[in-house]
Amino acid sequence: MPEIIADRIKEVTTGTGVGTLTLQGAPVGYRPFAAVGTVGDTFHGAIVAINAKGEPTGAWEVGYYTLTDGNAILRTRVDASSNGGQPVDFASDVKEVFIDVTARQVQALTQVQYRERRIEYFGGNDIWGFNGSAGGGRVTTTHPMAFAAALPGNPPYGVFNEAVPGMRTDQVLAGTDGLHPNWQYFMTVESTADIIILSLGIADMQAGRTQQAFRTDLETIIQIAKDAGKAVIVEITHKTNLALTSQYGQATYDAAIAKSCPIIDQWTYWDTYMTTNGVALTALCPDGVNPTPTFHIQKGQYAAQVFPTLSLPAPTPI
């Protein structure tokens, strides 16, 4: 049966005990329950005992109630009371029964459940999980896995690693990365994510592509994803020993700003970390490019730390 939600609903009762209470009419200025509900309807509310002056006597109850035959209420669930949370054994004095917003209702509102937010993470070796300390192979815990594990649980997130070793921006657009169709088709037909994270650039650098060609492609990738209704985050890749790392980082930053995308800046974070702690790049990336297993995890955890601060569309409630 429907729950009654209405203003100025109050009746009095002189019923006794811990069971059903018969309602005996509304005080002046209030409406009876029969004006807004019928047998079987429910409401959140309170029962408060009062003296002849209309002052509370100290006996009270808050809970969830059901209208029954004979203009009575059944105490379906007691949430709090002057009897330690149990139904009150009311005396024959007057009690007021009224609709109210309860603490349990407010608590439920603060624990809203959301639909899962699906995140697709794109990148090259460092996102795929290439192990820089073992001369090849894939780490057990990749950057996206560590990222997913460190995210908050509400709303729930599903993180999907869409990285391909050596993934370049021109391959992403053309659908020649060895895993995906062309970007336009993938975004508009196959992708189920509502958030896209792009961590591209290292493979473009290694292939000798110019910063301008890389930036142009990255901006096109971003725009296509946005046109498909995706929220796009741009991640600036970590520092490497490649000659153009800082220039590519700047090109990535410029593309993100031009397309109004929030940024996860791995390059600046890890450059500051190495300087502050006196850590050499080879301690994080033994081959100068690809992270150690520990560094993969740290990168993912840092991305998760930044993620909640980014400006993204609100999650969808269930």
> Distance between CA 78 and CA 65 in Å, rounded?
8
Q: What percent of the chain has pLDDT over 70?
A: 97
Question: Tell me: the pLDDT tens digits for 66-97?
Answer: 999 999 999 999 999 999 999 999 999 999 99
> Distance between CA 72 and CA 170 in Å, rounded?
73
Q: What percent of the chain has pLDDT over 90?
A: 86
Using the Cα atoms of residue 172, residue 178, residue 181 and residue 187 in order, give the sign of their dihedral. Answer: negative
Question: Tell me: the pLDDT tens digits for 273-302?
Answer: 999 999 999 999 999 999 999 999 999 999
As given in the structure block, the two tokens for residue 199 are: 């961590």
In this predicted structure, the answer to whether residue 110 has a pLDDT above a threshold of 90 is no
In this predicted structure, the answer to whether residue 108 has a pLDDT above a threshold of 80 is no
> Distance between CA 160 and CA 27 in Å, rounded?
61
Contact 296, 142 (CB under 8 A): yes
pLDDT at 2: 78
Domain locations in the chain as residue ranges? 10-109, 117-309
> Distance between CA 45 and CA 78 in Å, rounded?
10
Q: What mean pLDDT comes out for the span 290-317? A: 92
Beta-carbon contacts of 153 under 8 Å, excluding residues fewer than 6 positions away, are: none
Contact 159, 199 (CB under 8 A): no
In this predicted structure, the answer to whether residue 224 has a pLDDT above a threshold of 80 is yes
**How far is CA 192 from each of CA 185, 213, 230, 314, rounded to the nearest angstrom?**
12, 28, 10, 17
As given in the structure block, the two tokens for residue 143 are: 């950057």
- With cut-offs at 50, 70 and 90, classify the pLDDT of residue 316: confident
Report the mean per-residue pLDDT for the chain.
Answer: 94
The CATH number assigned to the domain with range 117-309 reads 3.40.50.1110
Q: What mean pLDDT comes out for the span 187-211? A: 96
> Distance between CA 58 and CA 96 in Å, rounded?
12
Q: What mean pLDDT comes out for the span 23-46? A: 96
> Distance between CA 61 and CA 87 in Å, rounded?
7
Residue 109, φ and ψ in degrees, nearest 5: -65, -30
Question: Is the overall model pTM greater than 0.75, yes or no?
Answer: no
Query: What are the DSSP calls for 162-185, one per residue?
Result: ---TT--HHHHHHT-SSS---HHH
As given in the structure block, the two tokens for residue 194 are: 């509502």
